[in-house]
């Protein structure tokens, strides 16, 4: 009898009881029932009518179970296959619509110190799992031009990995040639897509999420050379982030914080608590140190930042000039934290798009192009440019540079083809103090071995007209040519198996002749 009951239990576990959900919470409930009924049970040990009824019920249950067991063994093979197929479909649908719950965001109303807010700003990736929102971002530049974009996004760092961004680029009022364009970017854990609405084109490339990096300390970032804040090689100093999107100027703008909050004595916590779009923010007000002003945006002076205290997200920011006018801003209209997203929300529908051919990385027209190597390059920051020029003097067998108080180097680089070193320097000439960037009057120079291969560049490869003049200066026989369709000139010389070239922009022929005498050999 014992063996039969044991066999019956096993058969019931495999059939009628198969699939029943009996989790820990169910077990706890049963245990509570046992405890509750314990006292009553011990007072009813005598054999009575209840015992007889219980015995009858047990017999009836065993008989019914046996009947069900026999019927279950007669299930056809076809029905079994159908059930297996149904299970596979359900599993597939569950996988396709996989959802992961995220912690509910809680607003932080506690008083925060500068140290605490800097920690969250540099480590915001640890304080939220998903984010979605919309904002407008504006930048004004040294030459009067501007950019304005409306950005809509959603992204997930945990569970379902992926993101989406839609950017509407608005026309520049100062440039009638600009027009509105719209583009979208999608990514998941292994792929990135870029869609251009106006061209009905898309491009795609492989993507691999960055590995998690250690917690960043503000002092480590602020000890970095200011010139290195935006350098590509400095990325390892910051926390990991998803692929670069404009949305991350709000979510993970580590470089903005490294620049604007570098000197703690230059900013204060203006408000500990201010509601913005349903989030409690901390407001910072400060002044940017002159040494950190961007040469492309020289009007940057004062700034104000609204930071979500719970996550470290920059919800809103504004930068003002000396007159208090906005020269840069990020103005939000929506921000949602820790919503749940599905995998297909981060994958585009491409039926109406064609693949953009130029993203396929075609081989260079000249195979020698692939052998060119950029050894060193710097621009805009004079200190960095001068460092490259020091290396040019040491590396190049022959090197010339201008010795003229009106001429300032703006960019410099060293390139190499096989064993041949090539030096490039762009100089600003007679630039007014009110003119920003490189200025409009430029002198492009390059020096290279006579039989080397050079990279094609627009400045040196413009079509030439007739030779204007030939003259000898500083031991070099120069030939001066007019650049077709312009007032610019292209000057060529040769010395010690090396070619020297100079191309002007907005510098007259007569001025160029005078300046050649200040182009002197230093090695």
**pLDDT (tens digit, 9 = 90+) per residue, 216-252?**
999 999 998 887 887 777 788 899 888 767 888 899 9
**CB-based contact 491:479 (threshold 8 Å):** yes
Residue 56 has a pLDDT of 46
Residue 423 has a pLDDT of 97
Q: Where in the chain is the domain with CATH 2.50.20?
A: 114-355
Is the per-residue pLDDT at 118 higher than 90?
yes
Is 408 buried (19+), middle (13-18) or exposed (0-12) by CB count in 10 A?
middle
* Mean pLDDT computed over 408-431: 94
**CB-based contact 457:501 (threshold 8 Å):** no
3-state secondary structure of 30: helix
* Mean pLDDT computed over 194-215: 89
What is the average pLDDT score of the chain?
81
What is the share, in percent, of the chain residues with pLDDT greater than 90?
Answer: 54
Residue 255's pLDDT band (boundaries 50, 70, 90)?
very high
Residue 161's pLDDT band (boundaries 50, 70, 90)?
very high
The DSSP 8-state label assigned to residue 252 in this structure reads S
Q: Which position has the token pair 């470089």?
A: 255
Q: Could you give the CA distance from residue 432 to residue 439 in angstroms, rounded to a whole number?
A: 8
Is 472 buried (19+), middle (13-18) or exposed (0-12) by CB count in 10 A?
exposed
**pLDDT (tens digit, 9 = 90+) per residue, 459-488?**
898 899 999 999 999 889 999 999 988 889
Lowest-pLDDT range, 284-293, 294-303, 419-428, 440-449?
Answer: 294-303
3-state secondary structure of 330: strand
Count, residues in the chain: 523
**pLDDT (tens digit, 9 = 90+) per residue, 338-383?**
999 999 999 999 988 888 765 445 555 678 888 999 999 998 788 8
Residue 69 has a pLDDT of 42
What is the share, in percent, of the chain residues with pLDDT greater than 70?
Answer: 78
First to last CA, the chain: 107
Residue 426's pLDDT band (boundaries 50, 70, 90)?
very high
Is 493 buried (19+), middle (13-18) or exposed (0-12) by CB count in 10 A?
buried
Closest CA to 515 of 471, 468, 449: 471
What are the φ and ψ backbone dihedral angles of 209, each rounded to 5 degrees?
-55, 145
Ordered alpha helix ranges (H), 237-325: 248-251, 254-260
- CA R_g for the chain: 36
Residues with Cβ within 8 Å of residue 329, at least 6 apart in sequence: 136, 137, 138, 316, 317, 318, 319
Is the per-residue pLDDT at 49 higher than 70?
no
CATH class of the domain whose range is 114-355 = mainly beta
* Cβ neighbours around 332 below 10 Å, total: 21
Residue 73's pLDDT band (boundaries 50, 70, 90)?
very low
Q: How many CA atoms lie within 13 Å of 243's alpha carbon, on the beta-carbon side?
A: 20
Is the per-residue pLDDT at 385 higher than 80?
yes
Is the per-residue pLDDT at 68 higher than 80?
no
């Amino acid at each position: 009898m014992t063996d039969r009951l044991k066999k019956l239990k096993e058969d019931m576990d495999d059939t009628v009881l198969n699939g029943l959900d009996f989790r820990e919470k169910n077990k706890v409930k049963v245990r509570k029932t046992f405890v509750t009924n314990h006292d009553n049970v011990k007072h009813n040990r005598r054999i009575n009518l209840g015992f007889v009824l219980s015995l009858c019920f047990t017999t009836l249950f065993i008989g019914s179970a046996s009947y069900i067991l026999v019927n279950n063994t007669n299930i056809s093979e076809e029905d079994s296959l159908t059930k297996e197929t149904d299970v596979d479909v359900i599993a597939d649908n569950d996988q396709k619509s996989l959802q992961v719950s995220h912690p509910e965001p809680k607003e932080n109303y506690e008083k925060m110190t500068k140290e605490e807010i800097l920690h969250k700003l540099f480590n915001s990736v640890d304080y939220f799992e998903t984010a979605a929102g919309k904002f407008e971002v504006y930048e004004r530049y040294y030459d009067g031009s501007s950019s304005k974009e409306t950005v809509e996004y959603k992204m997930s760092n945990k569970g379902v990995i992926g993101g989406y961004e839609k950017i509407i680029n608005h026309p520049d009022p100062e440039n009638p040639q600009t027009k509105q364009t719209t583009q979208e970017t999608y990514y998941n854990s292994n792929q990135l897509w870029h869609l251009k609405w106006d061209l009905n084109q898309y491009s795609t490339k492989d993507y691999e999420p960055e590995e998690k990096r250690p917690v960043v300390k503000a002092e480590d970032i602020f000890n970095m050379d200011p010139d290195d804040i935006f350098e590509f090689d400095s990325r390892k100093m910051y926390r990991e982030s998803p692929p670069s999107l404009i949305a991350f100027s709000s979510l993970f703008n580590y470089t903005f914080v490294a620049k604007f909050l570098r000197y703690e004595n230059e900013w204060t916590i203006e408000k500990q608590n201010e509601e913005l779009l349903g989030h409690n923010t901390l407001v910072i007000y400060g002044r940017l140190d002159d040494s950190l002003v961007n040469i492309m945006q020289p009007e940057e002076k004062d700034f104000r930042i609204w930071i979500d205290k719970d996550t470290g997200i920059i919800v809103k920011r504004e930068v003002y000039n000396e007159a208090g006018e906005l020269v840069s801003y990020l103005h939000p209209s929506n921000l949602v934290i820790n919503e749940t997203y599905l995998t297909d929300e981060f994958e585009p529908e491409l039926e109406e798009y064609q693949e953009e051919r130029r993203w396929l990385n075609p081989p260079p027209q000249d195979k020698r192009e692939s052998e060119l190597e950029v050894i060193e390059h710097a621009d805009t920051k004079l200190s960095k440019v001068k460092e490259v020029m020091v290396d040019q003097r040491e590396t190049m067998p022959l090197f010339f540079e201008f010795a003229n108080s009106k001429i300032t180097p703006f960019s410099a680089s060293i390139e190499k083809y096989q064993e041949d070193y090539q030096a490039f320097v762009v100089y600003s000439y007679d630039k007014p103090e009110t003119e920003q960037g490189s200025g409009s009057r430029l002198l492009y120079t390059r020096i290279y071995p006579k039989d080397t291969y050079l990279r094609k560049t627009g400045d040196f490869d413009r079509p030439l007209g007739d030779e204007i003049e030939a003259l000898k200066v500083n031991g070099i026989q120069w030939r001066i040519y007019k650049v077709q369709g312009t007032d610019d000139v292209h000057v060529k010389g040769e010395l010690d198996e090396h070619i020297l070239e100079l191309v002007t922009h907005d510098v007259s022929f007569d001025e160029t002749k005078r300046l050649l005498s200040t182009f002197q050999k230093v090695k």
